[in-house]
Amino acid sequence: MPGVGLHGSLLVAGTTSDAGKSALVAGVCRWLARRGVAVAPFKAQNMSNNSVVTADGGEIGRAQAMQAQACGLEPSVAFNPVLLKPGSDRSSQVVVLGRVDGTVSARSYRDRKAALLDVVTDTLAELRGRYDVVVCEGAGSPAEINLRATDIANMGLAQAADLPVVVVGDIDRGGVLAHLFGTVAVLDRADQARVAGFVVNKFRGDPSLLTPGLDQLLALTGRPTLGVVPWADRLWLDAEDSLAAVADGVLGRPAAPLGEQWLRVAVVRLPRMSNSTDAEALACEPGVAVRYVSEPSRLVDADLVLLPGSKSTVSDLGWLRRTGLADAVAAHARAGRPVLGICGGYQMLGRRITDPHGVEGGSVDGLGLLDLEVDFAPDKHLGRPTGTAWDEPVRGYEIHHGRVVRSTDPPLLGATTGPDAGSDAGPVVGTHWHGLLENDGFRRALLRRAADLAGRSGFVAAPDTDFAAERSAQLDLLGDLVERHLDTAALDHLIAHGPPPGLPTVHTHLAAPC
């Protein structure tokens, strides 16, 4: 059925984090965009250290950038007006409309939410004026009733913006029927009236065995299940939870090598790792096994070691030393085997990190594998640069407080001048650019160099891996899953008309009749 003429909005909430909200929103967006609907994503508040730089010069969660691509749009700060970037277990940097706006604790953030609700609702209203449909994503779970009074991302947003709500649950975790029932049951009557249905995600097996449970869920709540989305092991790119798609430490679904040998990549799993998606392009390559590692023995048989970005570079560098990984990385480099550092990982490879403004709480010596020095500046640098590296055209994005103030290493980025051109010191390479590995030509050159340095003469780099096409194919798959497995007519009606009147209240001590 054509989608032209459809107007409205929808909020996708989840029973838990990583229940499938981001993927379902992307799938609904792709399904609508393919029908000719002008659609945009929206997440009022995201908590993630996986972020991107937008065309309008701000910073948003990477999941919203992925959802924007599903819509055929460039990322915009309007798609994620509030981003929280955890720097520790107790504090987060606040990014409002793409720009840093202080640091908060969990308690102090509650005092800011009233003002941020206005920012969120105004931004959503503006989007609804520009697009036919806006598909919103909740945060965490709406059943976090201890946070309901100041909520701006789940039922608080639904009430303020008059949104219908669908709740998605992950059956692979177990207990999904209880999760779905309980999510509704703990809400007050007004919030329950906005929850119009459920989606079950990641189902494996015989659907007929689930049907009696869904029938009982309908009888208990008065709300239908709008679809059961099957498990799809091809879906792993751009996970909101940086390790959500990792099974047994392996990232992605590695294809068999073209040659006689595999190339083994170890990505150090830093406690405050940021932009972990930088490693995903490597995991799309045939014969490349990418694993997250958190202790030294896992580096023994690695060919290439990747130090990723970090939201807390100084703290994570201390963790590297306490765990013995710092010594293991240094030994790997001294043996002439390749090491790649990206952003915070790049800074760790240098001789010294100074912090005159107290951005991360102190100065520290680096690993000394690159001859560079880094200063932390109070203002965050955001950019979407282009250049060349190893004679290949490249583009990326930058998100960092650290500035390289001295470097004697050969530059990595040949078309970039100044100390932030990256470092190419033989086996040890570093860059501030996220997304560099998404450039197909550069990535192939890196793999060939890594194989040569590691003595993997039997490894053959694929000549035709197209990372952009891989990402687009996953978005198409998400759209296909929505089209094939959800009640799309019911979704259309819900988007256009909101929750049906007269939905029953699930009676508990929190939602008892007057």
Active site residues: 343, 434
| Separation between Cα atoms, residue 117 and residue 113, nearest integer Å | 6
- Find the largest Cα–Cα distance for the chain: 75
| Separation between Cα atoms, residue 54 and residue 486, nearest integer Å | 31
DSSP string, 80-144: -SEEEEESSSSEEEEEETTEEEEEEEHHHHHHHHHHHHHHHHHHHHHHHHHSSEEEEE--S-TT-
Please, which residues have CB within 8 angstroms of residue 134's CB and are 6 or more apart in sequence? 9, 10, 39, 40, 41, 42, 124, 127, 128
Using DSSP's 3-state secondary structure scheme, residue 255 falls into coil
Which runs of consecutive H residues, i.e. helices, occur in 202-334? 207-221, 280-283, 313-323, 325-334
Cα-Cα-Cα-Cα dihedral sign, residues 437, 243, 296, 372: positive
Give me the residue label for tokens 């014969």: 287
- DSSP H or E stretch at residue 70: helix 62-71
The closest alpha carbon to 75, from 100, 93, 58, 94, belongs to: 58
The closest alpha carbon to 350, from 314, 298, 311, 398, belongs to: 314
Q: Are 65 and 28 in contact (CB under 8 A)?
A: no
- Exposed e or buried b for every residue in 458-472, given b needs 16+ CB within 10 A? ebbbbeebebeebbe
Backbone φ/ψ region at 227: left (φ over 0), alpha (ψ -120 to 50), beta: left
